[in-house]
């Protein structure tokens, strides 16, 4: 029980920090930290969505960045065509991600294990090339979004603090949703499938259908992150979907602790702060980051949440 309390305390501290961050930014006049953390929160949302299928569902998707791009391009393309309302842009972003997830999931879920990893990767790469070929929407160079999504006075995305809290609210909403899903009958079936698919099938659950629904939910959540990310950077380009971005998301989930509710947030915060910190020390930050990942895999079982749990117990 003591172990639980350590990780709970750290989680609570982190969440409180995220809620109070704009206050600190206002008082200290450090605007950069607010921008940085807006990005961190959006990617934490994407990592949390990946965790739903990877951690709880046992589906190792290596193509999750595709949804970041699809959500982002939905916003960017609609803005380009003169449809600036967020009430249209966001639902379209979510729907497009859901449809993509449905098609990709239906095909990929025919396979398992390492095939699944490679296939999701290949499909995301396909999405990347398709986006690079969209000459009307900037192709390789990407698409600048001149006006952020307009929520007609409800919330102003141009205001840094309001946008930050919108992203944070989305993150908390998604975490709440994942918590409800994981503890529902549906979530238990999906977790059962992770442990033993054959047995679940023998009991009479249509395995693929459950997994596909979970896959689509996760993709839709990540599409939301994509729409927010495009608004945050005022720009969307194929690079958002590049496979290293999918790798980053996987690293965040595993770093934080796969299959834990708050692990992905923790992972995203630590990973992106580390990236920021290392890139300030040296231009060649990946030279340190790469071996660090290797060491984390070799020695850091269960990620940060796992280590915190062990620290509390030991």
Partner 1 sequence: MLLVVEQFLNGLQFGLLLFLLAAGLTLVFGIMDLVNLAHGSLYMMGAYFAATFAAWTGSFLAGALMALGATLVLGIVLEVTALRHLYGRDHLDHVLATFGLILFFNEAVRLIWGPAGLALPLPAWLTVPVPILPGIHYPAYRLAIIAVALLVALLLYLGVMRTRIGMLIRAGASNREMIGALGINIKLLYTLVFGLGAALAGLAGLMQAPILTVQIGMGENILILAFVIIVIGGIGSIRGAFLAAIFVGMIDTLGRAFLPNLLRQVLSGAAASTAAPALSSMLIYLLMAIVLVVRPEGLFPANRR
136 binds partner 1 (CB under 8 A): yes
Q: Mutual orientation of helices 207-233 and 31-51 as an angle, nearest 10°?
A: 170
Residue nearer to partner 1 on the CB measure, 117 or 166: 117
281 binds partner 1 (CB under 8 A): no
Taken in order 12, 14, 20, 24, the sign of the CA dihedral is positive
Q: How far is the CB of 118 from partner 1 (least distance, A)?
A: 4
Residue nearer to partner 1 on the CB measure, 106 or 169: 106
One DSSP character per residue, 248-307 reads HHHHHHHHH-TT-SSHHHHHHHHHHHHHHHHHHH-TTTHHHHHHHHHHHHHH-TTHHHHH
Dist. CA 170–CA 46, nearest whole Å:
11
111 binds partner 1 (CB under 8 A): yes
Using the contact rule CB under 8 A, the part of the chain among 75-83, 103-111, 160-168, 189-197 near partner 1 is 103-111
Of 35, 53, 33, give the one whose Cα is nearest residue 222: 53
Dist. CA 264–CA 269, nearest whole Å:
8
277 binds partner 1 (CB under 8 A): no
The footprint of partner 1 on residues 207-236 (CB under 8 A) is none
129 binds partner 1 (CB under 8 A): yes
247 binds partner 1 (CB under 8 A): yes
204 binds partner 1 (CB under 8 A): no
Q: Count of alpha carbons within 13 Å of 305, Cβ hemisphere only? A: 24
Residue nearer to partner 1 on the CB measure, 85 or 201: 201
Q: How far is the CB of 256 from partner 1 (least distance, A)?
A: 13
297 binds partner 1 (CB under 8 A): yes
114 binds partner 1 (CB under 8 A): yes
DSSP 8-state code for residue 85: B
Dist. CA 169–CA 15, nearest whole Å:
12
- Per the listing, tokens 């982190």 go with 14
Give the pair of three-digit tokens for residue 234: 């005022």
Task: List the one residue from 84, 197, 243, 310 that touches partner 1 (CB under 8 A).
Answer: 243
Dist. CA 178–CA 187, nearest whole Å:
9
Q: How far is the CB of 50 from partner 1 (least distance, A)?
A: 12
Using the contact rule CB under 8 A, the part of the chain among 6-14, 165-173, 191-199, 285-293 near partner 1 is 285-293
Residue nearer to partner 1 on the CB measure, 1 or 135: 135
Dist. CA 78–CA 86, nearest whole Å:
10
Residue 301, classed as helix, strand or coil, is coil
Q: How far is the CB of 254 from partner 1 (least distance, A)?
A: 6
107 binds partner 1 (CB under 8 A): yes
Give the pair of three-digit tokens for residue 285: 């930050």
The footprint of partner 1 on residues 25-64 (CB under 8 A) is 54, 60, 62
Total interface residues for partner 1 by CB under 8 A: 44
Cα distances from 282 to residues 36, 252, 275, 278, 292, in angstroms, run: 19, 22, 10, 6, 15
121 binds partner 1 (CB under 8 A): yes
285 binds partner 1 (CB under 8 A): yes
Of 135, 131, 145, 90, give the one whose Cα is nearest residue 241: 131
Residues with Cβ within 8 Å of 31's Cβ and at least 6 positions away in sequence, in order, are: 25, 160
- Which residues contact partner 1 by CB under 8 A? 54, 60, 62, 107-108, 110-111, 113-115, 117-119, 121-123, 125-126, 129-130, 132-136, 243-244, 247, 250-251, 254, 284-287, 289-294, 296-298
């Amino acid at each position: 029980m003591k172990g639980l309390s350590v990780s709970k305390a750290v989680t609570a501290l982190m969440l409180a920090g995220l809620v109070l961050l704009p206050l600190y930014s206002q008082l200290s006049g450090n605007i950069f930290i607010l921008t940085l953390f807006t990005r961190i929160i959006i990617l934490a949302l994407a990592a949390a969505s990946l965790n739903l299928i990877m951690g709880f569902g046992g589906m190792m998707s290596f193509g999750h960045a595709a949804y970041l791009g699809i959500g982002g391009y939905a916003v960017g393309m609609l803005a380009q065509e003169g449809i600036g309302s967020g009430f249209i842009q966001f639902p379209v972003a979510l729907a497009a991600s859901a449809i993509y997830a449905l098609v990709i999931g239906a095909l990929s879920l025919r396979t398992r294990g390492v095939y699944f990893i490679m296939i999701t990767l290949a499909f995301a790469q396909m999405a990347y090339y398709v986006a690079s070929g969209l000459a009307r929407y900037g192709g390789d160079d990407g698409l600048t979004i001149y006006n952020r999504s307009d929520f007609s006075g409800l919330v102003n995305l141009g205001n840094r603090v309001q946008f930050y809290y919108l992203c944070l609210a989305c993150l908390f909403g998604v975490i709440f949703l994942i918590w409800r899903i994981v503890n529902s009958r549906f979530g238990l079936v999906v977790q059962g499938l992770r442990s033993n698919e054959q047995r679940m099938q023998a009991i009479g659950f249509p395995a693929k259908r459950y997994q596909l629904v979970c896959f689509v939910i996760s993709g839709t959540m990540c599409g939301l992150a994509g729409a927010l990310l495009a608004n945050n950077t005022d720009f969307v380009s194929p690079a958002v979907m590049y496979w290293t971005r999918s790798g980053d998301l996987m690293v965040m989930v595993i770093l934080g602790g796969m299959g834990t509710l708050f692990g992905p947030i923790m992972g995203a915060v630590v990973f992106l702060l580390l990236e920021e910190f290392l890139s300030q020390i040296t231009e060649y930050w990946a030279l340190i980051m790469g071996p660090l990942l290797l060491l984390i895999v070799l020695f850091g079982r269960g990620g940060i949440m796992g280590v915190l749990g062990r620290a509390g117990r030991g």
